[in-house]
């Protein structure tokens, strides 16, 4: 792995990423996101992000999980990508938080069991929780009965001790965070393919907004680029 920005990599990538400063803003954790996309901005290939990933990207994925206190994922991605608990994939101290309005959690969802604490499923107030399977902790966030308030969710995670949250998507969740100024750092793996199709747009289609980014780090493995951006408000 070669570091192009800010200069040659000194030491192991995991140590470098761990050492980066991530000051928690007032009342909420530092929020970073990790996404992989094609050169034309596709977030999935045949419905899954795995079609865009590669070995180095998977290594970054696991390294970032170890940096985070909590992985935050939208229910759509958790269902599609068959999410497990981070501890089941080696991140022993990392929790999982899921955002859902429907509370549609399949009985065979892998995160319902395994090592580590039960995932926290955030839902809007008044949601029908009667058919939610065992193996999760339910928490309300916000006052809108149709959607989870992400500021309230992050404040709750901070109250429970989280200082760094890693959002793993999907695009609609990432777009909501970016649109209301709740994204501090974005890790973007650019996979060297053009895939076309309509699964394009790493932040979904909820905008428009205008979030200024600064290039914090740029790594390269062969033809794959790994860019880290920090939002201007989140610059350390
Ligand atoms: N390239 C990558 O790095 C990457 C990363 C992640 C995902 N993906 C891909 O992205 C696709 C899925 O993304 P997506 O944008 O369609 O969906 P998504 O963001 O993963 O999930 C949308 C769902 O999340 C829940 N949700 C999101 N915001 C909410 C809020 N504020 N309040 C309550 N619930 C909320 C709702 O769940 P309910 O339906 O339960 O109400 C909603 O239907 C998949 O193909 C996946 O493979 C790619």
The arithmetic mean of pLDDT across residues 84-102, rounded, is 97
Going by CA atoms, what residue is nearest to atom 37 of ligand 1? 100
Instruction: Please spell the DSSP secondary structure of the chain, one letter per residue.
Output: -EEEESSS--S-HHHHHHHS--PPPTTS-EEEEEEEEETT-B--BTTBGGGG--HHHHHHHHHHHHH-SEEEEEHHHHHHTT---GGGGT-TT-EEEEE-SS----TT-GGGSSSSSPPEEEE-TT---TTPPSS-EEEE-SS-TTS--HHHHHHHHHHTT-SEEEE---HHHHHHHHHTT---EEEEEEES----SS-B-TTTT-------EEEEEEEEETTEEEEEEEEGGG--
* pLDDT band, residue 236 (cuts 50/70/90): very low
The reported pLDDT for the residue numbered 13 is 85
The reported pLDDT for the residue numbered 96 is 98
Q: Which CATH class is domain 27-223?
A: alpha beta
Q: Residue 140 above 70 pLDDT?
A: yes
Q: Residue 235 above 90 pLDDT?
A: no
Query: Could you count the other beta carbons within 10 Å of the beta carbon of residue 27?
Result: 10
Find where tokens 């920090």 sit. 230
Q: Which of 52, 124, 132, 173 to mutate to test the pocket of ligand 1 (most atoms within 8 A of CB)?
A: 173
pLDDT in tens, 58-69: 999 999 999 999
Q: Which of 163, 160, 126 is CA-nearest to residue 141?
A: 126
Q: Residue 49 above 80 pLDDT?
A: yes
The reported pLDDT for the residue numbered 233 is 78
The arithmetic mean of pLDDT across residues 125-134, rounded, is 97
- Separation of 3 CA from ligand 1 center, angstroms? 31
Nearest ligand 1 atom to the CA of 189 is 3
pLDDT in tens, 76-91: 999 999 999 999 999 9
- What is the residue-averaged pLDDT of the chain? 95
Q: How far apart are CA 149 and CA 112, in angstroms?
A: 24
Q: Which of 49, 124, 125, 169 to mutate to test the pocket of ligand 1 (most atoms within 8 A of CB)?
A: 169
The arithmetic mean of pLDDT across residues 54-60, rounded, is 91
Domains of the chain by residue range? 27-223
Q: Taking the model in full, what pTM does it have?
A: 0.97
The reported pLDDT for the residue numbered 14 is 86
């Amino acid at each position: 792995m070669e570091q192009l920005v800010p200069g040659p990599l000194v030491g192991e990538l995991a140590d470098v990423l761990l050492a980066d400063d991530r000051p928690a803003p007032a009342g909420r954790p530092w929020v970073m996101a990790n996404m992989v996309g094609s050169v034309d901005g596709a977030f999935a290939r045949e419905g899954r992000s795995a079609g865009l990933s590669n070995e180095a990207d998977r290594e970054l994925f696991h390294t970032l999980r170890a940096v985070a206190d909590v992985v935050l994922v939208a229910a759509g991605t958790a269902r599609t990508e068959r999410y497990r608990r981070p501890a089941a994939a080696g991140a022993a101290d990392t929790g999982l938080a899921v955002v859902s309005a429907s509370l549609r959690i399949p009985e065979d969802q892998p995160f319902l069991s395994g090592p580590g604490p039960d995932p926290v499923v955030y839902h809007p107030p008044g949601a029908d929780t009667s058919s939610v399977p065992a193996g999760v902790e339910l928490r309300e966030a916000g006052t809108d009965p149709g959607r989870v308030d992400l500021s309230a969710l992050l404040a709750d995670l901070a109250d429970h001790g989280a200082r760094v949250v890693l959002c793993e998507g999907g695009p609609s969740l990432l777009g909501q965070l970016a649109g209301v100024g709740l994204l501090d750092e974005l890790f973007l793996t650019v996979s060297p393919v053009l895939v076309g199709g309509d699964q394009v747009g790493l932040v979904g289609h909820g905008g428009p907004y205008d979030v200024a980014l600064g290039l914090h780090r740029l790594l390269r493995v062969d033809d794959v680029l790994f860019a880290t951006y920090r939002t201007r408000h989140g610059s350390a």
